[in-house]
Amino acid sequence: MNSANVVAYRVTPSRIHVLRASAVNINQYQGDVARFTSLPAKWRLRRVSAFDASVTLAGSPASIGLYTASFQAGTNLVAVTTLTSLTAAAKMADLTLAAINNTDYQTASEIFVWNHVRHGSAATITLEIELENMA
C-alpha cells in the first residue's frame, strides 16, 4: 500500500463517522490500495463515495471493492465497482453497498480497499466512507 494514503477521521454529533483516503492508487495491480483504521467497536457502513479522480476514468477497467480483511478476506462490504463514471475531478460516485450492510453490524477494526483491475496508467481517487457507530 502506498504510504501517501493518509486517512482523515472526524466524528459528527449524530454518531456518524466519516473517514477519507486521498490519493488512492488505482493503477496498482490486484492488491490492497488503502486501509481505513480506528473504527468503532461496532459499526454499520452507510455510504462509500469516490471522487477527485486525477484523470478521466471513462472507458477504464479500473474497479475496486471494500473488505474487512486484507487481500479480499473477511466480509465483502462493497460490490466490485468499475469507476467509469468518474470522468473529471468534480464527478462523484456512490458505490453499491453489499447486502450484508442492511442486516448485520460489523466489528472489524479495519476496512481494506482492494483494486480488482488497474486503470492502465497513473491514476488516483479519493474515497470517503460513512459509518454509523452501533456501540
Q: Which pLDDT score, from 0 to 100, does residue 29 have? A: 81
In the chain, how many domains are there?
1
> Residues 74-91: what's their mean pLDDT?
93
The residue segments making up the domain with residue 96 are 7-133
Kindly report the pTM of this predicted structure: 0.87
CA distance 77 to 46: 10
CATH code of residue 125: 2.60.120
pLDDT per residue as tens digits for the range 1-12: 444 454 555 555
pLDDT per residue as tens digits for the range 10-44: 555 678 999 999 999 999 888 999 999 989 999 99
Contacts of 101 (CB under 8 A, 6+ apart): 44, 45, 46, 77
Q: Is 102 helix (H, G, I), strand (E, B) or coil?
A: helix
Any domain includes 76 = yes
Any domain includes 1 = no
Nearest to 93 by CA among 124, 119, 66, 128: 128
Assess contact for 101 and 124: CB atoms under 8 A: no
